[in-house]
Amino acid sequence: MLFIIGLEKNPEQCRKTTSTAVRAELKRRKKFSKSGCRPSSTRRKVMAESVKFRDPRVHQKIDRHRACPRCYRDIDECLCAKVPVFENLISVIILQHPQEQYKQLNSAWLANIMLKNSHVRVGLSWNGFKSVAGESAMPSQWGILFLNNKGKAGDPPVTIQNRKKQFSADYGFLKGIIALDGSWKQAKTLWWRNPWFLKLNRISLNPAHASLRAQTREGGLSTIEAIAFALDNLGEDKLTGESLRENFRRLIIGIA
């Protein structure tokens, strides 16, 4: 899942903000435990609904000893020969948190086998941009995907902002995009551990439609959906994005 709203702050600012929020939450819980207060009926209903609609497979993992080394599905459910391959013009690199690698609902490896010009890197930190994208790559020609939690109807589906926070209506200079693959918490961990992300352009996504799978946060998208949406709006053939979403729906989510 890709959900990295608010990570435009630098890593140290994020840590401070998070620490403050955690302290406030602990203080609130302590107060409620003493007073015997309970969440409102509306709040309890929202909490119940979020649990009700959460996919029970969200924490299930594939046996690593039975996983295909390319698509990371069980060998009896290998996807490699079941999907088309597209020659994408914009390079795609997925930085995957190690805990996501064998998850049942993970979509990063499906995107990887469907996009010829793509790579998945599993880890927590990488020694600079060029160690991920190659020695000839320039950070000014690459962007990292964000989801816009402040988007409104009528806003552009994609906005591009450089490291100086200057907006660009042109996307022709982009050679590649980077997507973080992991939960909200895992994505923040990747962000904190890789300060070189700040050298990249920020590509903010403002999707009009909800994710095909239940997300833990409103407005969240799976990694493959975020990549498909970005490619749709950065000049790639629309068939590429449509096929990514369709095969995710059919092969990972399991909706016929």
The pLDDT tens digits of the residues spanning 104-115 come to 999 999 999 999
- Cα 37 to chain centroid, rounded: 36
The top-scoring range by mean pLDDT among 24-28, 139-143, 168-172 is: 139-143
As a whole-number percent, the residues of the chain with pLDDT over 70 amount to 72
Contact 194, 112 (CB under 8 A): no
Token pair of 76 as six digits: 């009896």
Q: What is the pLDDT of residue 23?
A: 54
Range with lowest mean pLDDT among 44-48, 81-85, 89-93, 159-163: 44-48
CA–CA separation, 148 vs 143, rounded Å? 15
Residue 93 phi/psi, 5-degree rounding, is -120, 130
Map residue 245 onto helix, strand or coil. Answer: helix
Domain spans, the chain? 64-253
Look at the block and give the residue holding tokens 């590649």: 176
Give the count of beta carbons closer than 10 Å to the beta carbon of residue 172. 7
Range with lowest mean pLDDT among 101-110, 143-152, 173-182, 195-204: 143-152
Question: Is residue 13 scored above 80 in pLDDT?
Answer: no
Give the count of beta carbons closer than 10 Å to the beta carbon of residue 247. 21
Packing angle of the helix pair 184-193, 11-35 (nearest 10 deg): 140
Q: Nearest Cα to 145, choosing from 197, 85, 88? A: 197
What pTM value is reported for the model?
Answer: 0.79
